[in-house]
Amino acid sequence: MRTESHIPAAIDVSFDVYDGEIFVIMGLSGSGKSTVVRCLSRLVDASSGEILLDSENLLTKNKKELTHIRRHKMGMVFQSFGLLPHLTVYENIAFPLKLQGLPARQLCDRVERVINLVGLEGREGSFPEHLSGGQQQRVGIARSLAVEPEIWFLDEPFSALDPLIRRQMQDEFLRIQRVLRKSIVFITHDFLEALRIADRMAIMRDGKIIQIGTPEDLILNPADDYIAQFTREVPRIKILRSGQCLDETKKNISGLVRVHDQTPLEILIPLMDQNPKGIAVHGEDGQDLGVVSPASIIRTLASNQRNSGLNAEELNG
């Protein structure tokens, strides 16, 4: 008997996405990250396992049930904007609501609400060809949000945009998330993008998840050499916090400016110019934890640089 060999695209992939969380999946091309998000939405059927939404296994749903779930509980945004060229901005956003059979007044209210949310006021009558790349992506985001999904899937939604527009769209995305608090699975290959938006993240290789954690966890405590290599180009100044840079030799906080122990180092460093004696750090309960000094910042950065595996030759380019 002739048997075909198969190359699995996703192997023993398991993770939870919490209410209101942005869960980022990263990996190189071919690592399986886009396949995973397509399995979650059942655009691709997983060959085994479970995909649970509200404790119900999506793999057991028939076509009619799955269509209802996609129309009412899921929002999806992909790298290609997928706008219908013969429809206006308003009509593109209204399209999935018409499929739901939403009453006209309710449809109009919801479309207007998401248009305002993504900042497209005044462009309702424009066709996609008359919009910039960033505006087209806003339409795609508004269309996916119009159904008021419980979970939102975004597969490299900003990767086709110019760097400046991409940054603006990340800002817009985070602003929308602060308002709506959706549960989000976000696919990207850009670690700096993940660093900006992720609550937690997973890094994949060859169809497997290698490590799950906060961006800081993955950068400071990599599970293996692959994760260390993957993250070592990320500037440590972007992920270190004041509570990780305390000066063990300084205990006197009298008269010093105080900051929270989760203050990012890139915000803290400019404050050092006016506070050369150091800055006091307090915890969540208001209790003083110690002092951050210029020397302690340098020591922490140097220690993390050594732990990242960079040698002198690499540091010098």
Q: What is the mean pLDDT of residues 194-219?
A: 92
State percent of the chain over pLDDT 90.
Answer: 37
pLDDT band at 134 (very low <50, low <70, confident <90, very high): confident
Find which of 13-17, 192-196, 265-269 is predicted with most confidence, using mean pLDDT: 13-17
- Do residues 185 and 261 share a domain? no
Closest CA to 151 of 275, 252, 255, 56: 56
Output the six-digit token pair for 210: 């290698």
**Residue 240, domain extent:** 236-315
CATH number at residue 293: 3.90.1280.20
Statement to judge: residues 186 and 242 lie in one domain: no
At residue 2, the pLDDT reads 44
62 and 33 fall within a common domain: yes
Q: What percent of the chain has pLDDT over 70?
A: 94
Please give the pLDDT value at position 308: 58
Looking at the fold, whether 215 and 286 belong to one and the same domain comes out as no
Q: What is the pLDDT of residues 35-70, one digit of tens each?
A: 999 999 898 888 888 999 988 999 999 999 998 898
Domain end residue (candidates: 171, 202, 231) = 231
Question: Is residue 4 assigned to a domain?
Answer: no
Q: Give the predicted TM-score (pTM) of the model.
A: 0.79
Domain end: 209, 231, 253, which one? 231
Give the whole-angstrom CA distance, residue 8 versus residue 72: 31
So what's the pLDDT on residue 4? 56
CATH number of the domain within which 74 lies: 3.40.50.300
Q: Taking 60 as the threshold, does the pLDDT of residue 315 lie above it?
A: no
206 and 121, same structural domain? yes
List the one residue out of 76, 68, 144 whose CA is nearest residue 101: 68
Evaluate whether residue 198 is within a structural domain.
yes
- Note whether 218 and 260 are same-domain residues: no
Residue 309 is assigned to a structural domain of this protein: yes
| Consecutive H or E run containing 307 | helix 294-307
What does DSSP assign to residue 54?
T
Judgement on whether residues 103 and 59 belong to the same structural domain of the protein: yes
Q: Please answer whether residues 16 and 183 qualify as being in contact, where contact means their C-beta atoms are separated by less than 8 angstroms.
A: no
Same structural domain, 109 and 182: yes
Residue 11 lies in a domain: no
Domain count along the chain: 2
The predicted pLDDT at position 312 comes to: 39
227 and 267 belong to one structural domain: no
- Identify the pLDDT of residue 26: 92
CA-angle at 24, arms to 23 and 25, nearest 5°: 125
N-term to C-term CA, the chain: 56
Q: Tell me, yes or no, whether 60 and 207 share the same domain.
A: yes
- How sure is the predictor about 300, in pLDDT bands with cuts at 50, 70 and 90? confident
Rounded to whole angstroms, the Cα distance separating 93 from 114 reads 9
Question: What's residue 313's pLDDT?
Answer: 42
* Mean pLDDT value across the chain: 86
Residue 14 is assigned to a structural domain of this protein: no
DSSP string for 190-216 = -HHHHHHH-SEEEEEETTEEEEEE-HH
Does the structure show a pLDDT above 60 at 154? yes
> Considering the domain boundaries, does residue 1 fall inside one?
no
pLDDT of residue 317: 38
Both 306 and 183 in one domain: the answer is no
Query: What pLDDT sits at residue 118?
Result: 85
Nearest one of 244, 238, 229 to 308, comparing CA atoms: 229
Q: For residue 92, is it within any domain?
A: yes
User: C-alpha angle with apex 213: 237 to 210, nearest 5 degrees?
Assistant: 110
Q: Quick one: average pLDDT of 187-191? A: 89
What are the pLDDT digits (tens) for 84-130?
999 999 999 999 999 888 899 999 999 998 998 888 899 999 999 99
Among 231, 246, 279, the domain-final residue is: 231
d(CA 40, CA 50): 10
Burial of 113-138, coded b for 16+ CB within 10 Å and e otherwise, reads ebbebbebeebeeebbeebeebbbbb
Q: Is residue 118 assigned to a domain?
A: yes
Q: Are residues 163 and 55 in the same domain?
A: yes
